Amino acid sequence: MIKIIKQGKPNRKIKMIFERECLMCGCIFEFEKEDLKTYVPFGDKTIKCPCCNLTLGIELEDTKYRIVEIEEDEYE
Global confidence as pTM: 0.73
What is the full per-residue pLDDT of the chain (76 aa) written as tens digits? 999 999 988 888 889 999 999 999 999 999 999 999 987 677 789 999 999 999 999 988 889 999 998 876 654 4
Domain annotation covers residue 20: yes
Range of the domain at 49: 14-75
Structural domain total, the chain: 1
Contact 19, 64 (CB under 8 A): yes
Give the DSSP letter string of 14-38.
EEEEEEEE-TTT--EEEE-GGG-EE
Provide the total of helices (H) and of strands (E) in the chain, helices listed first: 1, 6
Domain annotation covers residue 2: no
Domain annotation covers residue 28: yes
Domain annotation covers residue 9: no
Domain annotation covers residue 32: yes
Domain annotation covers residue 7: no
Domain annotation covers residue 3: no
Termini Cα distance of the chain: 39
